[in-house]
Amino acid sequence: MKALSPLLAVLAIVGFAVVGGHTHAGLVFLAVFVPYAAFAVFLVGFCYRVARWAWIPVPFRIPTTCGQQKSLPWIKPASLDNPSTGWGAFRRMALEILLFRSLFRNNRARLHDRRLVLGEDRYLWLGALAFHWSLLVILLRHLRLFVQPVPVFVSVLSRLDGAFQVGTPALYISDVVILGTLVYLTARRFRNPLARYLSMPIDYLALFLLLGIVTSGLLMRFVVRVDVAAIKQFALGLAVFRPVVTSAITPIFLVHLLLVSALAAYFPFSKLMHMGGVFLSPTRNLANNNRSKRHVNPWNHPVKTHSYAEWEDEFRDKLKTANLPLEAEDARQITGH
Amino acid sequence: MDANEAILEQWVVRTAESYPHHAAALLSKERDPFRNPVGDTLRQSLALLLRELFAEMDATAIDSALDPIIRLQAIQGFSSDDAVRFVSLLKPILRELAPERNSAVLDRRIDDDRINRLAVMAADKCTQCREQLARIRANEVQRANHVQQRIRARRPA
Amino acid sequence: MPDKLLAIEQKRPEGDWRDAKVEFRKGTICYSAAPKNITYLSLPNPREWQPFDADWKLPPNWKEIILKGMKERLRKYRSFRLFMEICVRCGACADKCHFYVGSGDPKNMPVLRAELMRSVYRRYFTLTGRLFRALVGARELTEDVIKEWFYYFYQCTECRRCSVFCPYGIDTAEITMMGRELLDLIGCNINWVMEPAANCFRTGNHLGVQPHAFQDSIQFAADEAKEITGLPIEVPINRKGAEILFVMPSADYFGTPHYYTLLGYLMLFHEIGLDYTVSAFASEGGNFGLFSSHELMKRLNAKIYEEAKRLRVKWILGGECGHMWRVFHQYMDTMNGPADFLEPPVSPITGTHFENARSTRAVHICEFTADLIHHGKLRLDPRRNDRWNVTYHDSCNPSRAMGLLEEPRYILKNACRNFHEMPENTIREQTFCCGSGAGLGTDENLEMRLRGGFPRANAVKHVREKHGVNLLACICAIDKATLPTLMEYWVPGVEVAGVHELLGNALVMTGEKERTTDLRGEPLVREEATRE
């Protein structure tokens, strides 16, 4: 039942879009004001959150080392999983961000079945990776709506993405993948007993919003067709801050737009900030060169210690009995001479 | 899934369900012996025990099958009764599943008596494990002070 | 029938993790810190109490203290704030914790252990948490939550295994460390951490061994090494002007099987004629401050550099100890450095520059010895270890906070003839904790330790059954103290040894007498050509 409130929230947004678009004022509010506001919240919020992290010091160098360290010259270090240089840490981060290295690490012993089994967690890696990549491709493809003339890489990307040429309009691979992976990721939260136990309502919210966005997008392309040229006109208007509300704004488009706005506005308040946070994670983005290069803690304040002199004072008799050399006594002998 | 497997599966699941903290989800599902060693141990022990129940009730075989599972039960915070309750969980499972099983297995007369005997053996084993816990506690303390003890033994003050 | 079965299998844990009530049972918790230890360390709220008491005698403004403490730490540690904010609860970490795997308690899933703190963070430090509470997983900070924190943050060994699998590198050890720091502020800590820490602060080592007793133990070990080898082995203590300060965990001169490792070190140092000293002041490399707070860690660690400076040594050599190396490698230089009074370490025997330690100026004994063996400076007779069929347990800290994986294996493979690895997902960076680290290795906590150590033991059992392994080698003092217990219960017939014990056995020393026993005093058995 944890999924109920987020589901209702998403349905409410859809309802708003459908009902609110009937009057001109409503249309202006939902198609112009809300996207601007949402985008502003997103930008400000995202930057604020990242900047706040970046401003907090990293007092200690605490990389999680996932392979052999660089020590003796004849031992081969794991330069990606346990980097000893900044460049190595950069490559480790690249691997983490582009290929989800750590998630891939979920190996599984295969003693029981004696056959190669792709474990559920490899599916998680595959699902997560495919989802994020197709999301990126889709976002880039959408650039053609906001930029005139359309940048070459966007056209090329769209052509590649639609390379299978199934039906008209072409079915994009990324659309299929993102829908599939979203369904998988959502189903996993429901079906995997552990994932279900630890999921909270907000975990479903992001998934439902994304599912709504993808579904409405696909509907616009294949079922309730919209006038793409007119939408581009509208989007261009938004982009140059001269929005024109046109008849292209059909309810389905408004649903799509409003869900995207909701996601954008919600983004900085949510776990979706992992997008920015992953770059700053001190267990991943630091080189394991702790002993060769001193890491400075900006707030390294002094602490109360028990000094050698105090220690010697306390145990003087015992040190004497044991015939261990004494500092203070040495000093007395020197002055005695 | 043949009948024996079905019985075993039920036994594993119900044993896992008796664990505190709703652990059944992990214990009964994950099959990787290194990711889920508890579940794997339960499964292996119970499989062996089931085989013995259907067969000769060989005391040595039962003892070695009981050992791993009782060792687990003994440290999971169960009372002595609860620690061996998994044995009697088998009774209702057999009652439930027996009619669907082929008669050949039924003929082996897996009756409550055998299960009761197993329960007694399990209880004995559990007592042994608990006693061992006290022993290994003492051994650990002894190891921790090993050098001092030897110094004292060698050089009386 | 199978349908019904599936329905049961799919059954998820019931209930809601946000319910904070925990049951404190003897055998699965550590007892509270004695007031005298808290007082000695000048920490807050010393008092008599126990976790199973209803009233924990918290200070009246405990809530304010905790929230203030959180606020301060959120500003000082990026890791803390980041790890409070970016978890997506994907569950990749869920079955990576040895306590979860061994007990099935869902709050031991790393994600939930962290959520115990995150829920409070959200409630008091985020807008959405203040507004939407339960919907975003925010919880009120109540006394029950404090008790729950105590229960679960002292049920984490800070082993960092979950962090290996997390796509954002979220490290539960960081969260547990913060949790324990916060609990310290209101006087909720355990004796097995605070007593060693108080001892260490006073005497220089966890066991509270005073200088004369320290000398006694070291002398005893030197005498025994003499007896075994027939060589005049001496151990300098507090000697000024030595080239190297050797620091080890105090258990090495107090308990077994640690002690045999100490014999191994002493024999090695004698054989290569090392110019070194041990110190009765820096008589502990381990640092239970790490299990309490960053501040206490720094306070206890300060003596290492102080003593190295006083003794005017050139560099520091560190013995076999897991969390000592976490501190030496990741904290010491930052906290108490720069060590500009020392010199970048160079092996006096091989001339190797330990480039990887040129700032901290502390070298791990396994790096040092592996270098010696590689340069052919040691004569080894691995047949002397023939009675052992060895596997190697990577200790958490050297593997996941350092990456010291090959050096000990290299030594083992040169010192023994029978070596078998445990399964891949239980060693190296994926190694399973002994279940007793981070201050949990006390006897009152035995049952919990046996649960947490079960995944490790299970992997040992596997190689015992498959290859007849009978010795578990490791390089950590806590391992050496607690793995024997684990083995005794789960895998009888497997003993535990330090890497340098095996090296000491195999080491052929110049002018030594014919060895009749190994370092444990057991007769040497050579199985000539019986094993490949």
DSSP string, C18-51: T-------TTSSPPBPPHHHHHHTT-S------T
Tokens standing for residue C186: 């209101």
Q: Is residue B153 part of a domain?
A: no
Residue C146 lies in a domain: yes
Does the domain at A4-301 match CATH 3.20.20.70? Answer given as no
* Pick from A108, A113, A197: CB nearest B35: A108
Distance (Å) from the alpha carbon of A29 to chain C's nearest alpha carbon: 25
Question: What is the DSSP code (8-state) at residue A74?
Answer: T
Subunits with at least 3 CB pairs below 8 A relative to chain C?
Answer: A, B
- Whether the CB of A280 is below 8 Å from some CB of chain C: the reply is yes
Structure tokens at B149: 């003890």
CB proximity C41 to A under 8 Å: no
* Cβ <8 Å between B34 and A194: no
What is the chain A residue with the closest CA to C423?
A109
Would B113 be classed as within a structural domain?
yes
Residue B133 lies in a domain: no
Q: Does residue B11 form part of some domain?
A: yes
pLDDT of amino acid C220: 95
Burial B88-126 (b: 16+ CB within 10 A, else e): ebbeebbeebeeebeeebeeeebeeebbeebbebbbebb
CA distance A108 to A115: 11
**Per-residue confidence (pLDDT) for residue C134, from 0 to 100:** 81
Q: Residue ranges of the domains in chain A?
A: 4-301, 308-337
Taking 50 as the pLDDT cut, the residues of chain C under it are 1-11, 529-532
Do C172 and C218 sit in the same domain of this protein? Answer: no
B9 within some domain: yes
Looking at residue C374, its pLDDT comes to 97
Q: Is A59 on the interface with C (CB under 8 A)?
A: yes
Same domain, C55 and C167: yes
In a domain, B84, yes or no: yes
Residue C443 inside a domain? The answer is yes
Question: Residue A288 pLDDT more than 90?
Answer: yes
Of C189, C214, C243, the residue that ends a domain is: C189
To test the contact with chain C by mutation, choose from A82, A281, A319 the residue with the greatest count of C C-beta atoms within 10 A, namely A281
Higher pLDDT, A110 or C49: C49
Whether residues A112 and B32 touch (CB distance < 8 A) is answered with yes
- Residue C532: predicted pLDDT: 42
Q: Are C29 and C151 in contact (CB under 8 A)?
A: yes
Residue type at position A118? L
Best interface-test mutation with C: which of B5, B147, B151 has the largest number of C CBs within 10 A?
A: B147
pLDDT at A249 > cutoff 90? no
Give the C window 412-431 contacts with A, CB below 8 Å.
423-425, 428-430
**Amino acid A330: pLDDT:** 53
pLDDT interval class at A117 (50, 70, 90): very low
Within 8 A of B35 by CB-CB distance, chain A residues are 108-109
**Residues C238 and C172 both lie in one domain:** no
CB-based contact B33 A193, cutoff 8 Å: no
Of A261-265, A332-336, C404-408, the range with the lowest mean pLDDT is: A332-336
H helical segments located in C109-185: 110-125, 127-132, 143-153, 161-165, 172-185
> Tell me: the pLDDT tens digits for B59-94?
899 999 999 999 988 988 888 888 888 998 888 888
| Beta-sheet strands, E only, within C338-437 | 362-364, 390-392
Strand partners, C277: C245
C contact residues 436-465, partner A, Cβ 8 Å cutoff: none
CA-wise closest residue to C468 among C487, C431, C493: C493
A59 or A333: which leads in pLDDT: A59
Residue C488 domain-assigned?
A: yes
Out of A70, A197, A281, the one facing C12 most closely (by C-beta) is A197
The structural domain count of chain C equals 2
Instruction: Identify the pLDDT of residue B94.
Output: 82
Q: Does the pLDDT value for residue A120 go beyond 70? A: no
Q: Specify the DSSP element, H or E, that contains A321.
A: helix A308-321
Q: What's the pTM?
A: 0.92
Contacts of A28 (CB under 8 A, 6+ apart): A245
- The reply to whether B98 touches chain A by the CB within 8 Å rule is no
- Residue C522 counted as domain residue: no
Q: Are C285 and C325 contained in the same domain?
A: yes
Mutate to test the interface with B, among A106, A108, A321 (most CBs of B within 10 A): A108
CA nearest C263 in B: which residue?
B147
Are B32 and A108 inside 8 Å of each other by CB?
yes
Tens of pLDDT, residues C32-51: 999 999 999 999 999 999 99
Q: Return the residue of C nearest to B79 by Cα.
A: C25
Residue-level pLDDT at C4: 40
More confident residue, A335 or C148: C148
In total, the C-beta contacts within 8 angstroms joining chain A to chain C are: 291
Interface probe for B, chosen from C161, C195, C426, C490 (most Cβ of B below 10 Å), is C490
Helix (H) or strand (E) holding C314: none
**Chain C residue at shortest CA distance from B96:** C1
Task: List the single residue in C with minimal CA-CA distance to B2.
Answer: C2
In which band, very low, low, confident or very high, does the pLDDT at B100 lie, cut at 50, 70 and 90?
low
User: Both C390 and C426 in a single domain?
Assistant: yes
Domain that holds residue C20: 13-189
Give a yes or no: residue B20 inside a domain. Answer: yes
d(CA C318, CA C247): 5
What does DSSP assign to residue C421?
A: P
Which chains lie within 8 Å of chain B at 3 or more CB pairs, if any?
Answer: A, C
Chain C residues in contact with A104 (beta carbon < 8 A): none
Q: Which residues contact C298 (CB under 8 A, 6 or more apart)?
A: A303, C289, C331, C335, C336
Residues C257 and C170 in one domain: no
| Inter-chain residue contact C106 with A303, CB threshold 8 Å | no
Calpha distance B8→B30 (Å, rounded): 15
Q: What is the pLDDT of residue B13?
A: 86
Q: Measured between alpha carbons, how far is C253 from C248 in angstroms, rounded to an integer? A: 9
Chain B residues with CB-CB distance to A112 below 8 A: 31-33
Same-domain status, C390 and C243? yes
Interface contact C106-A197, CB threshold 8 A: yes
Which of B15, B75, B97 would best serve as a mutation to test chain C binding (most C beta carbons within 10 A)? Answer: B75
* Contact across the interface for C458 and B34, Cβ inside 8 Å: yes
Rounded Cα distance between C268 and C508, Å, is 10
Assigned domain for C4 exists: no
How many Å apart are CA B153 and CA C11, to the nearest integer? 59
A288 contacts A64 by C-beta, under 8 angstroms: no
Q: Is C160 a member of any domain?
A: yes
> Hey, is the C-beta of A78 within 8 angstroms of any chain C C-beta?
yes
Please state the separation of Cα B150 from the chain's center in Å: 39
